[in-house]
Chain A
Amino acid sequence: QETTLTISSWAPPTHGVNAKMWPDLISRIEKATEGRVTAEIKYNLAPPPAQADIISDGVADIAWVVHNYTAGRFPSATMAELPGFGGDTEAFSVAYWRTFEKFFQQANEHRDLKVLALYSHGDGMLHSSTKVETLDQIAGMKLRIGGGVAGKVGEALGASSINVPAPRVYETLDSNAADGVLMPMESKLGFRLTEVAEHSYAMPSGFYRTSIATVMNQDKFDSLSKADQAALDELFGEELSRIAGALWDEFDAEALAALDGAGNTLTMATEADQAIWADKSKVIIDEVIADISEKGIDAAAAYEFFQAEFKRLNAEK
């Protein structure tokens, strides 16, 4: 018999997650189960912050969950958003999964959910309508900044923060209500930032990331045949994290390739500014590690392991 899983998604159908990540996952699920299990995408069943809930309640079977949309619920995920993870998202995602298995899983933050993959969007950076070339230029700018660690990063940079939902970013920039936005390179295309924020400023060591999970309803997974469960467990976990991370690298690369044609620029932070940022970000890192430690996780050890794995894998790329 054939099972069709329902994938709950949001963001425009043209967004990489919908145009590439889900079709890729569907074909891999079909291949692993020899066609016995497949899946289809349903859009906008519930707003983004409700995605974890609708999966645990069985409204849909699989979804992508941005951890910081439900602040407080996934404390350990904030570690994956910290500065200092600049580089390859594929390497980052594998390191993230290994850290999750070793340190975070026991805290049971993803209750009633089967975590299929952990990853993040690419390096968060500044996109603005005026060209930024030094770190201190950011102080005093009005920036649209998302939740989670990004907020602390904006504060450390001395920017004032405007908090509007991602789909409203274009018009916020277009009307000059904000001078810029902290988002990954991929958003240049996804939110048409090439038109309203022509200049990007990136930090090689990383400003921040946004932690994301692909999750599945546990009961639904358990209802599959033992053979299919075993086959899918080969795919889920580190392997799917690697695949998802690689896809987000691809999304970034596409946007990067589009910069020249749109007359956009990308500036990398200077050595001196990188050193300044290392000092500033130390404060954020210590604060977050202290917060996570309160939740019964050995956060210091986890961070050390996470960084070591990431540095090793990133260097191998």
Chain B
Amino acid sequence: MKTLTHVSRVASLANRLAIGPAFIAGVALFFMMVLTFIDVISRSVFSAPLSYSAELTEMAMAVIVFAALPMATLKGNHIVVDLFDGFFSTRGAFLRDFLVDLICIVALAFPAYRVWTIGTRSKSYNEVTEILNIPQYYLIYFVSIALFFCCGIYFLQIITRFAKSPKTEEAL
């Protein structure tokens, strides 16, 4: 029983890791919707378009996608092909899922680190957005951090899996 509480503790940690950023994503999405609405009305009716709306939309997009990515990871929202699931035994499936999580961590960690260094470089180049002159590296660092969050989710998933592994269940 003790392992199970650990499991739920790890699971709730993963949940907390995902829910905060997901909330930010939702706010950014709502903001994008309102921004577009105001821009269209302001342009059509008052002939006064917002020059920065496209730029803010682009930034909001990146925030939506990456802030929601940890939650997408957690919910297993990634599209998978489960065609051959029948071919794996319980233990085989366990090993397979462990390897898949591990591969995903590696496949995320390297780009996450690379994105961070691109952010640092962008900072040294003084790159800013065209209209509002917002430094580019804020958003780039944000993307990198979000990717590391996803690595964290996969890591917690591995821990949960081991805690719930067939072996542990036998021991109980």
Q: Do A and B bind each other?
A: yes
Contact (Cβ within 8 A) B54 A164: yes
Minimum Cβ distance to chain A for residue B39 (Å): 9
Known contacts A140-B47, A164-B54; is-contact A147 B131 (Cβ 8 Å): yes
Are A142 and B47 neighbours in the complex by a CB distance under 8 Å? yes
A142 in complex: contacting residue of B43, B126, B136, CB < 8 Å: B43
A217, chain B: closest CB distance, angstroms = 15
B47 partner residues in chain A, CB cutoff 8 A: 140, 142, 160
We find that the number of chain A residues with CB closer than 8 angstroms to chain B is: 23
The residues of A that contact B129 with a CB separation of less than 8 Å are 71
Please tell me if A151 contacts chain B, counting CB pairs below 8 Å: yes
A312 at the interface (CB under 8 A from B): no
Q: Evaluate contact between B49 and A71: CB separation under 8 angstroms.
A: no
Q: Are A161 and B51 in contact (CB under 8 A)?
A: yes
Q: Interface of chain A, helix or strand or loop or mixed? A: loop
With a cutoff of 8 Å between Cβ atoms, the chain B residues found around residue A70 in the complex are 125, 127, 136
B52 to chain A, nearest CB (A): 7
Choice from A147, A148, A161 contacting B49 with Cβ under 8 Å: A161
Q: Are B130 and A151 in contact (CB under 8 A)?
A: yes
**A-side contacts of B131, CB under 8 Å:** 147, 151, 163
Closest to A112 in B: B121
Report whether over half of chain B's contact residues are helix, strand or loop; otherwise say mixed.
loop
Task: State whether A162 and B126 are in contact (beta carbons under 8 Å apart), knowing that A71-B133, A72-B133 are contacts in the complex.
Answer: no
Which residues in B have their C-beta under 8 angstroms from that of A72? 125-128, 133
Q: Mark B106-146, 1 if CB is under 8 A from A, else 0.
A: 00000000000010010001111111010010000000000
In whole angstroms, what is the CA distance A161 to B129 when docked? 16
Q: What 1/0 flags go to A59-86 for Cβ under 8 Å of B?
A: 0000000001111110100000000000
Which B-chain residue is minimally distant from A56 (CB atoms)? B121
- B125 touching A162 by the CB < 8 A rule? no
Residues from chain A with Cβ under 8 Å of B52 in the complex: 163
Query: Is B48 in contact with A160, judged by CB distance below 8 angstroms?
Result: yes
Give Cα distance in the complex from A177 to B48, angstroms.
11
Q: Is B97 an interface residue when CB atoms closer than 8 A count as contact?
A: no
The docked-state distance in angstroms from the alpha carbon of A162 to that of B43 is 9
A-B contact count (CB 8 A): 55
Query: What are the residues of chain B within 8 A of A151 when measuring CB–CB?
Result: 51, 130-131
> When each residue 45-80 of chain B gets 1 if its CB lies under 8 Å from chain A and 0 otherwise, what string results?
001110111110000000000000000000000000
User: CA A161 – CA B118 in complex, angstroms?
Assistant: 30
User: A69, A163, A178 — which one has the most chain B CB atoms within 10 A of its CB?
Assistant: A163
A273 lies within 8 A of chain B by Cβ: no
Q: Which of B24-56 contact A (CB under 8 A)?
A: 43, 47-49, 51-55
Docked complex Cα distance between A178 and B43 (Å): 9
B54 touches A177 (CB 8 A): no
Query: How far apart are the CA atoms of A84 and B119 in the complex, in Å?
Result: 36
Contact A68 B130 (CB under 8 A): yes
Alpha-carbon gap, A178 to B130, bound state (A): 19
Which residues in B have their C-beta under 8 angstroms from that of A178?
49
Among B43, B54, B126, B133, contact of A73 (Cβ-Cβ < 8 Å): B126
A148 to B130, CA, bound (A): 7
B49 contacts which chain A residues (CB < 8 A)?
A: 142, 160-162, 177-178
Q: Chain A residues near B43: list those with CB within 8 A.
A: 142, 162, 177
* A143 nearest in chain B by CB position: B49
Are A71 and B128 in contact (CB-based, < 8 A)?
Answer: yes
Tell me, in angstroms, the Cα distance from A72 to B96 when the chains sit together.
Answer: 48
**Residues A163 and B55 in contact, CB atoms below 8 Å apart:** yes
Question: Which residue of the partner chain B has the closest CB to A53?
Answer: B118
Q: Which residue of B lies closest to A155 (CB)?
A: B51
Provide the bound-state CA to CA distance between A287 and B140, in Å: 30
- Please measure, in the bound complex, the distance between the C-alpha atom of A213 and the C-alpha atom of B123, giving whole angstroms: 22
With A68-B130, A70-B125, A71-B129 as known contacts, state yes or no: A160 contacts B51, CB within 8 Å. yes
Closest 5 CB pairs of A and B: A147-B130, A161-B51, A72-B128, A73-B125, A72-B126
Given contacts A72-B126, A73-B125, A163-B130, 13 further A-B contacts (CB under 8 A): A69-B130, A70-B127, A72-B127, A73-B126, A73-B127, A75-B126, A142-B47, A147-B130, A148-B130, A162-B54, A163-B55, A163-B131, A177-B49
A selection of 14 A-B contacts at a CB cut-off of 8 Å is A53-B121, A69-B130, A70-B136, A72-B128, A73-B125, A142-B49, A145-B51, A148-B130, A151-B51, A161-B49, A162-B49, A163-B51, A164-B54, A165-B54
Query: Which residues of B come within 8 Å of A, CB atoms?
Result: 43, 47-49, 51-55, 118, 121, 125-131, 133, 136
